[in-house]
Structure 1
Amino acid sequence: MQIQDLPYPDPGVPDVRSGPRFLWWLGRNQLGGQLTSLAWGLLHFMAVSAQPFCVGFAIEAVIDRSGARLALAGGLMALFGAATALGDTFLHRTAVTNWITAAARVQQLLARKASQLGSALSRRVAAGEVVAVSTGDVEKIGWFVEGVSRFSAAALTVVFVCVGLVVYQPALGIVVALGVPVVAFAALPLLPRATRRADVQREKAGRATELASDTVAGLRVLRGIGGEELFLDRYRRASQEVRQAAVSSARMWSLISAIQVLLPGLLLIAVVFYGVHLAREGRISVGELVTVYSSVMVLMYPLRHFEEIAMAYSFSRPSAKRAARVLSLERATDAAGSRAADLPSGDLYDPATGLLAPAARLTAVVCGDPDAAGRLAERLGGHPSEDGPSVLLGGVPLDELPLEGARTAVLVQDKDPVLLSGSLRDLLDVPASGEVGPTEALAAAQCADVLDALVQGSLDAGSPMDAHITERGRSLSGGQRQRLALARSLFTDPEVLVLDEPTSAVDSHTEARIAEGLREIRTGRTTILFTSSPLLLDRADRVVLVHDGVAVAVGVHRELLHTEPRYRAVVTRETEEETARGGVLKELHALGDAERLGDNERQEIEESA
């Protein structure tokens, strides 16, 4: 795989059982690139390591006054120099290719997972963790994957050189062969501690990133309640913890680096001391001593890759673990789909709660717990819990539909929809049925003032459709963002539209007009509306009360308001005491006894309730 061939037609199915297994899977899927990099690495390192032998051969030629041998030594040095340059050039090229292609594969896997999970991803993984995995972690994973081939080439070169020295000059070669493994693996006992400190640093950095992301996302709210300084202090403390963890990790790595400098120096001193002793005794020549000395010096170059691969693994292992955790998340339904692509139609039914949304009707759902409402909306969108049954559309389980088909049939709009940066035309550039135009959708969502605000903020916009929307719509108010997101959902015009609190940030007058527009534009389509707003509930064809995860009451708004205390408590924000008192008085009225009670008796009953 070359960089120009990206993206991958299919990034594959990763092994996400653990971080190391994920790294191993990435390496196996780049076997061709790894072997190419290994070959160029061997050429480069072996050419560098051959230079000392050429130097020793040249010195022997000078001592023996042999011009032919000296010329041969010069020619060999020129040849190995060219091989060094060639190997280094293509090693760097292939290594960078491996790095980028590995990072691209991980990013494609993350993008595919985000597409499969949809809104469920943000509910199951913190936003800061997703940002950390898709940015910094991807780079660290790519670093380790490309470093494996260079380390392998360096390790093989060290083995070849040690064997060559033993054959060339056994007395000094044995010293080098015994000393090099000590130099290479002396820092190994320190790696677990360095890895743990790196893990702590990554964990704290992830928390700081998550805090920063949440702070930026809620900056408008924080300014409104005066909480900027509070969150600033939290981020300051988090960043200081990251700094302390980074310093602690750096100290350990500096110790490992110091060992990697100290031990080779001691080995070099030992070789020189013993070599001079052998030269005085006449057991080796000066050329052989220079060759061995130069070889030990050159060996420091490939040995540095032992430290680099240890550092790369230490930093990439927690990154791979986080990536594997995100990639291991599964849609609780069959993403591929086992049923044909023909989309069903009909009633939407959730067996877990008993919620039934009749086809072509506007059904409002009242749920006292906002989190439970969000989970139920997620279920209706085809993301049930791991052990829960699938939602049925026209009697067909959504998990038997292909993911694309399920999303075409059912669209869920979260309570906090995301607006991507770009023009209004880009915002509405989504798959749609074609039966609802942009103008109709914007009008139904009451976006006239939103369009005016966008045009005023985009001086070069020829029409409202060309007006620029900032990242996440930060230049707009919460209500304006909600209305634009609602317009986008209405323009899509799915068979089933699920809206989770689409008007929570809108004033009552605008909300009433939205209710009328929503009912009109969704005529003949199935719409499910999670809300507790009386304005929206009063215009629904059917209202369902979900309490403790079960649909306990069905009717119209005015009827449930008078007959169901739990419904009235959610819609009118009654306290438990008021709800209980109303229930007692209702029973008394039903018995016909309330009119015969005196004021004192009535007060005692209310107080006891």
Structure 2
Amino acid sequence: MTTPDTAGARGPGPEAAPETGSGILRTAVRRNSGAMLWGTVLMGLYQAGETAFPIALGLIVEHTMRDRSLPALALSIAALAVLITVVSLSWRFGMRILQKANTTEAHHWRVRVAACGLQPVARDTDLKSGEVLTIATEDADQTADIVEVVPMLISSLLSVLIAAVALSMASLQLGALVIAGTVAILSVLSVMSKRIGSSTREQQARVARAGAKVADLITGLRPLHGFGGNHAAFGSYRRVSTEARRQAITVARVNGTYAGAALGLNAVLAASVTLTAGWLAYQGRISIGELVMAVGLAQFIMEPLKLFSDMPKYVMMARASAERMALVLSAPPVAEPGTERPEPGGSLEVDRVRYGSLQGVKFHIPAGEFTAIAAYQPRAAAELAAVLAVNVPPAAYEGAVRLGGRELVDLSVEAVRAQLLVNPSDAEIFGGTLRSNIDPAGTSRMVAEAVEASMLTDVVALHREGLEYEVRDRGSNLSGGQRQRLSLARALAADAGVLVLHDPTTAVDAVTEQLVARNLAALRRGRTTVVLTSSPALLDAADRVLVLDDGVVTAEGTHRQLLAGDEAYRRAVTR
């Protein structure tokens, strides 16, 4: 089911996440009970009015043939006009209430899922970011459909019951036929709807995996082209996409079978009612007016029956989507953050950390020092950056990391984020402007200094809009060096107490790299700064260099001292 976009959505609030798909659906129904009640009343009035129309026609025919009175005919026509007006207005306002509630509820769940995906402490799920995106969009919309489905289900059931009662007043045989036929149709379709639910869940999972794969492809497209791996990557995506296409065809077949069965069964019931009414009229057991009413109801009843028979399908789709949302909303955090705050000063200590290729790495960086770490193995630098960024759960590595004298595991997320910033080598560039990329929150007072220190001034000067120059998604209209300097400017503008930079200048030329190194040392003077790099310019600008080899710190000193006394270091960093 689709609904128009609307405003007035609520925020996520502090409520606890439901643990199951059924719990999510119950929460949605409970939160929108008022709108669903009014929607049910108005849609019930609409369905009752629609059902009353053929009944009124039958009564008009009956009385007109008996009384042959023009005033009575005029009054009947006026009554039909009132009935049509009630039907029109009740539909308009009932659907307005339900669709607004539907759209608002979908927005609520989109915000909830997005908030979980953006939390600084990751959740323990096996889903990729592309899958979470699908859950936050398509699944949130389909889950919110329950708000609209339930009132439509009740109102269409009311319509069928009114038709059955009206036909029973003419002939118990007709009323019993409608009730028995409706029960039989729903029994058949409820079995088929379960197949739709299972097929839809599988389709949503495969589409989400395909979305995640293409997101990964876009992110790594340039490196893939660099070493010729793009064809293999495209082949991998083709396989995932083909699986999603095949499952989509399966779902379409199941839906088509369901729709065809529903339409066929409804048509059989309508035809049975019509033929039975004709036979009863032929035998003189019902009047002509009752025959007109029965034929009219037999034709009309197909619409509410179709609507009624479609609802189980939407319920199963909503439940399947809700269960996928529960995978995100109810997943436990990878790590439970503490509540303490670091002591002032900004020191950073890594104490015998073992993780991946790190084999008990140990060092201490006092507050205010500019330290460079020359990692001979790029993997070790990446893993150290991940540990410092708290992207690795504390339980996944041995040893401790201390910020301001306190272990990271004991600190609150807010305290860590306020004191420590780790800027990765592959930092994302967002769609927006240069300014919004440098200062996303709009609160930094160091934008100008950060632009100058990162040597982004030429990019700003190149465009008439300056810092308001529009940056495309992922920085596609910037060169690799420009994207890297923009990322560095963002890190510097944050003015963190402890700043860790991972390979901040690998995509810039040697002259620019020298200027960036000099500017970085000047701007961060008195603030704790760590740079994971093999750049001679940055190593030379640092107060101290630590050599990380085979997962441990093997040497330390200034860049020039190490060049003079360590042959392995000289071979590794000179170029």
- TM category (shorter chain) comes to 0.7 to 0.9
5 Å-filtered alignment, 1:522-561, equals 522-533=524-535, 536-537=538-539, 539=542, 541=544, 543=546, 545=548, 555-556=556-557
The aligned residue for residue 347 of structure 1 is 347
Relative to structure 1, the CA distance from residue 21 to residue 132 in structure 2 (aligned partners, 3 Å threshold; closer, same or farther) is same
Aligned residue type for 1:361: E
Query: 1:495: Cα distance to partner?
Result: 1.2
The aligned residue for residue 200 of structure 2 is 198
Structure 1: unaligned runs, 5 residues or longer: 574-609
Q: Does residue 501 of the first structure (1) align with residue 503 of the second (2)?
A: yes
The aligned residue for residue 105 of structure 1 is 108
| Greater displacement, 494-503 / 208-217 | 208-217
Q: Does residue 57 of the first structure (1) align with residue 59 of the second (2)?
A: yes
Aligned residue type for 1:40: L
Aligned residue type for 2:425: K
Contact 1:144 1:309 in 2 (8 A): no
Relative to structure 1, the CA distance from residue 316 to residue 355 in structure 2 (aligned partners, 3 Å threshold; closer, same or farther) is farther
Cα distance in structure 1, aligned partners of 2:178 and 2:448: 80
Deviations 1:554-576 (A, max 9, x none): 744768899999x9799679xxx
3-state SS of 2:67 partner: coil
The aligned residue for residue 393 of structure 1 is 403
Deviations 1:152-198 (A, max 9, x none): 32234334443454455322111111111112332222223333332
5 Å-filtered alignment, 1:55-204, equals 55-65=57-67, 67=69, 70-71=73-74, 73-117=76-120, 125-167=127-169, 169-204=171-206
Query: 1:35: Cα distance to partner?
Result: 1.9
The aligned residue for residue 585 of structure 1 is none
Deviations 1:446-486 (A, max 9, x none): 3344445xx2xx4x43xx32333222211222232111111
5 Å-filtered alignment, 1:360-509, equals 360-365=368-373, 374=382, 376-382=384-390, 385=393, 387=395, 392-396=402-406, 403-431=413-441, 437-451=446-460, 455=462, 458=463, 460-461=464-465, 464-509=466-511
Aligned residue type for 1:362: F
Aligned residue type for 1:360: G
Contact 2:210 2:240 in 1 (8 A): yes
TM-score by length of 1: 0.79
The aligned residue for residue 356 of structure 2 is none
The aligned residue for residue 358 of structure 2 is none
The aligned residue for residue 270 of structure 1 is 272
The aligned residue for residue 303 of structure 2 is 301
Of all paired residues, the percent bearing the same amino acid is: 29
Contact 1:16 1:325 in 2 (8 A): no
Query: 1:53: Cα distance to partner?
Result: 1.6
Cα distance in structure 2, aligned partners of 1:322 and 1:345: 45
Cα distance in structure 1, aligned partners of 2:328 and 2:138: 15
Relative to structure 1, the CA distance from residue 430 to residue 15 in structure 2 (aligned partners, 3 Å threshold; closer, same or farther) is closer
Q: Does residue 44 of the first structure (1) align with residue 49 of the second (2)?
A: no
Aligned residue type for 1:261: L
3-state SS of 1:186 partner: helix
Query: 1:264: Cα distance to partner?
Result: 1.5
Cα RMSD after superposing both structures:
3.9
Cα distance in structure 2, aligned partners of 1:352 and 1:301: 72
The aligned residue for residue 593 of structure 1 is none
Aligned residue type for 2:454: A
TM-score by length of 2: 0.83
Structure 2: unaligned runs, 5 residues or longer: 354-361
5 Å-filtered alignment, 1:245-284, equals 245-284=247-286
Relative to structure 1, the CA distance from residue 378 to residue 109 in structure 2 (aligned partners, 3 Å threshold; closer, same or farther) is farther
Aligned residue type for 2:257: L
Q: 2:29 is matched with which residue: 27, 30, 37?
A: 27
Instruction: Report 1 or 2 for greater relative contact order, CA contacts < 8 Å, sequence distance ≥ 6.
Output: 2
Aligned residue type for 1:283: R
Aligned residue type for 1:358: P
Contact 1:333 1:400 in 2 (8 A): no
The aligned residue for residue 242 of structure 1 is 244
Query: 1:257: Cα distance to partner?
Result: 1.0
Cα distance in structure 1, aligned partners of 2:326 and 2:383: 24
